[in-house]
Amino acid sequence: MADDAPSRGADMEARAGEFRDRYNQVKGEIAKVIVGHDEIVHGVLTCLFVGGHALLEGVPGLGKTLLVRTLADALSLDFNRIQFTPDLMPADVVGTNVIAETPDGRREFQFQRGPIFSQIVLADEINRATPKTQSALLEAMQEHSVTVGGTIHRLKEPFFVMATQNPIEQEGTYPLPEAQLDRFLFKLVVGYSTREELATILDRTTRNDRPQAEKVLDGDDLIRFQKLVREIIVAPHVQDYAIRLALATHPQGPFAAAVTNQYVRWGSSPRGVQTLVLAAKVRALLDGRYNVSFEDLRRVYLPALRHRVLLNFEAQAEGIDPDEVLLKVLDSVPEKAETSAAVA
């Protein structure tokens, strides 16, 4: 068995090198079209290589939809866009049973698939639809299936929902249900471009040269890389740090920070700590390591948890946002457990 160790190590090194090369290829194709927003692009790609969904929030015109479309252009995957509006119904998303005539003249119900039956689904301006329609995505996002008329219809793998939303203060928007927010791996906040980035955007969009991303990755490769990510090791003390980061967001809990008890109504679900660990594994791979560090967890902390923490009325009255609270929570959690509660 010991003789196999060097070969296993060489195999892992080769696979990790391929992972980094293909990751950078996809990122490079996106960079042909998208200017700046490096952290946002990295966050979307992290969701892709982990196998999770991404929620992009920002005011209109910042390139959220273009980013998802460009990502789809770089992947050999089926792509559909759903424009969410107040009159959109659940059947418009998942599909419905319709009466159809068979060749022998009989009539029977046949399932007509909705646009959710794709591998990359852009849910554009998702918070412009009513909560009833938003919730039509719940089963698809969690189970990768759709149930209509008592029949379960499986979605093709890999499957991703890339949703964009305007800030909920915007007119004509509906806050996403907490259960649906929790199913997004990351919530990424898209900010404004810099002066230099705007100059590059103008050069690209006001001339005849229209760059286009080329397809560099297919579904089978993506599934293979997702399995590789899960092979990265997490030491018990690092895993315990991730657990305590999530538990520190639970008000009145044994690990709660003072700021949590003051401003948080509900803390992170178990999906939050799962996200922390999986996303940190991607960071480790990209840095050429095969084990997760404390810093890897801190780098993915905000996008992993900002949508999983519900603030109370006091925080809303004082104009405090989840990122402010979470950063204080992060500062309050030591890397080394101070009690015997550490997970062995």
262 φ, ψ to 5°?
-80, -40
Asked if pLDDT for residue 340 goes beyond 70, the answer is: no
Q: Provide the pLDDT for residue 7.
A: 66
Long-range contacts of 337-340 (CB under 8 A, 24+ apart): 337/237, 337/240, 337/241, 337/244
At residue 15 the predicted structure's pLDDT band, cuts being 50, 70 and 90, is confident
At residue 226 the predicted structure's pLDDT band, cuts being 50, 70 and 90, is very high
Peptide bond preceding 254: is omega within 30 degrees of 0, i.e. cis?
no
As a whole number of angstroms, the distance between CA 289 and CA 229 comes to 11
pLDDT 10s digits, 186-218: 999 988 888 888 888 888 878 877 788 889 999
In the chain, the amino acid numbered 311 is L
HSE value, Cβ hemisphere, 13 Å, CA-based, for 25? 15
Q: Provide the pLDDT for residue 58.
A: 87
Q: Provide the pLDDT for residue 19.
A: 92
Domain 232-344 CATH class label? mainly alpha
Asked if pLDDT for residue 274 goes beyond 90, the answer is: yes
CATH superfamily label, 1-83+119-127+155-230: P-loop containing nucleotide triphosphate hydrolases (3.40.50.300)
β-bridge pairing 310-311 and 264-266: antiparallel
197 φ, ψ to 5°?
-65, -40
Classify burial at 126, counting beta carbons within 10 Å of its beta carbon; exposed 0-12, middle 13-18, buried 19 or more. buried
The single residue listed with the structure tokens 């008329």 is 149
Within the chain, all domains assigned CATH 1.10.8.80 are found at 232-344
Within the chain, all domains assigned CATH 3.40.50.300 are found at 1-83+119-127+155-230
The single residue listed with the structure tokens 């990755």 is 217
Query: DSSP per residue over 104-121, as a string?
Result: TS-EEEEEEE-TT-SSEE
